C-alpha cells in the first residue's frame, strides 16, 4: 500500500510533522517493503491554500492514505474527494507510526480535526519524541465561513477562534472554530476594533485565494500537469445561487439553470466546494 506521512525530516527516523499542508516533508512510503520517497513540501511557504495544494499533491502521487497530526477542512475534503484516507492525531517517530498503521492500530478520521490555517506561522516541530505536539496545538486559526449577507463585500468571511483542545492520544478532535461577529451583524458592536477584525479576516481570505492562484500559475508556467482533481456539481442539489461562481478564481463556472463547470479551466482548488451553501459541489479525480 502506498501511503504518505507528514514528517519533520526526510527519513523514517524523523518525527511526524503535525501540520498537513505546511509540513516540512511528505514521505511517500510503500508499506510492503518500507521504501521511502521524501518530498520537500513545495507548499510550505504559500500564504494560503497550502492544505488544498498539498492534498492535490497527494492525489497526484496516488497515495491511498495520509498519516498526519492535523488536517483542516479544505484539505480533508479534498483528500476525501480523491479517495484518500486521512488518519490524524499521529505523533512520534514516522517508522513507529507506520508500523502501527500496518498493524491496523490506527483508524481513519471521519472529519477534519482542526480549523483552517492550522500551522501558519509555526516552525517545524521539535525533533525529540513527545515534544512539540502539545505546544502549538492550541494555536488554531479561524477558518470561519461566510457570515450571512457577506456577499456585499465579496465573499463573506468569518474569523475562527483558537483551537484549545489537546491532541495527545486523540485520533481526532472536533473542529471548534466559531465564527466571529462582523459589523452590522445583530448584537455585534459597531466599533473600530470589530471592523478591523472583520477586515483582517477578509484580507486573510483574499490572500489565501491569491496564494492558491499564484501557486497554480507558477505550476502551469513550469509545464505542470493538469490538476488531478476537478470540481463537479450535483444538479439536483444546486439552487443556482452563484456563490461558487464568485468563488472560482479562474472563471471556470457558469450558471445555466444550475452551475456548470468547465473541466478544462478548473484547477481543482476546491474554493467552490467550500463556498457552496448546498453542498452541491465536490471534487473528484479527473478522468
Give the binding site for ligand SF4 (CB under 6 A): 231, 233, 238-244, 247-248, 250, 252-253, 255, 258-259, 261, 266-272, 276, 278, 280-281
Q: How far is the CB of 73 from ligand SF4 (least distance, A)?
A: 15
What is the C-alpha separation between 251 and 95, in angstroms, rounded?
A: 44
Q: Considering the complex, state which of residue 140 and residue 150 has its C-beta at the smaller distance from ligand SF4.
A: 150
Neighbours of 203 (CB within 10 A): 11
Q: Considering the complex, state which of residue 36 and residue 81 has its C-beta at the smaller distance from ligand SF4.
A: 81
Instruction: Estimate to the nearest angstrom the gap between the alpha carbon of 74 and the chain centroid.
Output: 4
Burial 151-175 (b: 16+ CB within 10 A, else e): eeeebbbbbbbebebebeeeebbeb
Q: Considering the complex, state which of residue 104 and residue 251 has its C-beta at the smaller distance from ligand SF4.
A: 251
Give how far Cα 66 sits from Cα of 55, 203, 226, 241, 262, Å.
9, 31, 22, 34, 29
Cβ 271 vs Cβ 209: under 8 Å: yes
Q: How far is the CB of 217 from ligand SF4 (least distance, A)?
A: 12
Q: How far is the CB of 266 from ligand SF4 (least distance, A)?
A: 3
- Strands 65-67 vs 85-87: parallel, antiparallel or unpaired: parallel
Q: How far is the CB of 262 from ligand SF4 (least distance, A)?
A: 8
Q: Considering the complex, state which of residue 5 and residue 269 has its C-beta at the smaller distance from ligand SF4.
A: 269
Q: How far is the CB of 145 from ligand SF4 (least distance, A)?
A: 12
Q: How far is the CB of 156 from ligand SF4 (least distance, A)?
A: 13
Q: Considering the complex, state which of residue 180 and residue 253 has its C-beta at the smaller distance from ligand SF4.
A: 253
Instruction: Estimate to the nearest angstrom the gap between the alpha carbon of 97 and the chain centroid.
Output: 22
Q: How far is the CB of 208 from ligand SF4 (least distance, A)?
A: 13
What is the C-alpha separation between 269 and 121, in angstroms, rounded?
A: 22
Cβ 236 vs Cβ 85: under 8 Å: no
| Count of residues making up the chain | 287
Q: Considering the complex, state which of residue 65 and residue 253 has its C-beta at the smaller distance from ligand SF4.
A: 253
- Contacts of residues 186-195 at CB distance under 8 Å and 24 or more positions apart, as own/partner, are none
Q: Considering the complex, state which of residue 147 and residue 238 has its C-beta at the smaller distance from ligand SF4.
A: 238
Amino acid at each position: 500500500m502506498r501511503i504518505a506521512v507528514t514528517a519533520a525530516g526526510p527519513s523514517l527516523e524523523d518525527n511526524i510533522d503535525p501540520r498537513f499542508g505546511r509540513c516540512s516533508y511528505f514521505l511517500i512510503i510503500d508499506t510492503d517493503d518500507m521504501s521511502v520517497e521524501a518530498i520537500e513540501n513545495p507548499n510550505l511557504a504559500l500564504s494560503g491554500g497550502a492544505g488544498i495544494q498539498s492534498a492535490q499533491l497527494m492525489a497526484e502521487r496516488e497515495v491511498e492514505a495520509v498519516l498526519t497530526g492535523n488536517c483542516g477542512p479544505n484539505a480533508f475534503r479534498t483528500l476525501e474527494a480523491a479517495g484518500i484516507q486521512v488518519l490524524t492525531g499521529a505523533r512520534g517517530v514516522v517508522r513507529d507510526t507506520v508500523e502501527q498503521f500496518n498493524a491496523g492500530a490506527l483508524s481513519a478520521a471521519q472529519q477534519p480535526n482542526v480549523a483552517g490555517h492550522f500551522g501558519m506561522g509555526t516552525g517545524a516541530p521539535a525533533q525529540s519524541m513527545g515534544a512539540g505536539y502539545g505546544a502549538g496545538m492550541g494555536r488554531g486559526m479561524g477558518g470561519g465561513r461566510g457570515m450571512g449577507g457577506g456577499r456585499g463585500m465579496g465573499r463573506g468571511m468569518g474569523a475562527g477562534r483558537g483551537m484549545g483542545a489537546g491532541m495527545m492520544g486523540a485520533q481526532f478532535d472536533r473542529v471548534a472554530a466559531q465564527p466571529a461577529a462582523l459589523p452590522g451583524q445583530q448584537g455585534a458592536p459597531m466599533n473600530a476594533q470589530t471592523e478591523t477584525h472583520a477586515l483582517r479576516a477578509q484580507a486573510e481570505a483574499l490572500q489565501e485565494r491569491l496564494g492558491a492562484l499564484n501557486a497554480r500559475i507558477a505550476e502551469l508556467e513550469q509545464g505542470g500537469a493538469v490538476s488531478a482533481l476537478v470540481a463537479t456539481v450535483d444538479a439536483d442539489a444546486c439552487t443556482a445561487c452563484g456563490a461558487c461562481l464568485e468563488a472560482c478564481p479562474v472563471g471556470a463556472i457558469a450558471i445555466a439553470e444550475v452551475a456548470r463547470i468547465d473541466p478544462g479551466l478548473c484547477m481543482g482548488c476546491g474554493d467552490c466546494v467550500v463556498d457552496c451553501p448546498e453542498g452541491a459541489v465536490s471534487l473528484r479525480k479527473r478522468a
